[in-house]
Amino acid sequence: MSSLNFIGGEKGGVGKSVAARVLAQYFLDKGLPFTGFDTDRSHTSFTRFYADYAAPVVVDSYEGLDLVVGAFEETLPDGQQSSVIVDLAAQTAAPLSRWVKDSDLIAVLSEMGVTVNFWHLADAGKDSVDLLQRLIDTYGAGPNYLVVKNLGRGSDFSQLDQSDALKNALALGARVVTLGQLHEASMRKIDRQNASFWAAINNRNGADTLGLLERQRVKTWLRNTYEMLDTLPL
Mean pLDDT value across residues 53-77: 84
Per-residue model confidence (pLDDT) at position 197: 94
Q: What is the CATH number of the domain that holds 139?
A: 3.40.50.300
Check whether 88 has a pLDDT greater than 80: yes
The answer to the question of residue 39 being in a domain is yes
The answer to the question of residue 215 being in a domain is no
The answer to the question of residue 196 being in a domain is no
Percent of the chain with pLDDT over 70: 97
**Least confident residue range of 8-12, 142-146, 210-214, 222-226:** 8-12
Per-residue model confidence (pLDDT) at position 55: 87
Burial, 104: exposed, middle or buried (Cβ in 10 Å; 0-12, 13-18, 19+)? exposed
- How many angstroms separate the CA atoms of 201 and 217, rounded? 10
What rounded mean pLDDT belongs to the chain?
92
pLDDT band at 222 (very low <50, low <70, confident <90, very high): very high
Convert the pLDDT of each residue in 159-180 to its tens digit: 999 999 999 999 999 999 999 9
The answer to the question of residue 68 being in a domain is yes
Per-residue model confidence (pLDDT) at position 212: 94
**DSSP output for 177-229:** EEEPPPPHHHHHHHHHHT--HHHHHH---STT---HHHHHHHHHHHHHHHHHH
Mean pLDDT value across residues 196-214: 91
The answer to the question of residue 213 being in a domain is no
pLDDT band at 20 (very low <50, low <70, confident <90, very high): very high
Q: How many domains in the chain?
A: 1
Length of the chain: 234
Residue 25 φ then ψ, to 5°: -65, -35
The answer to the question of residue 191 being in a domain is no
Per-residue model confidence (pLDDT) at position 80: 73
- Parent domain of 8: 2-181
Per-residue model confidence (pLDDT) at position 79: 64
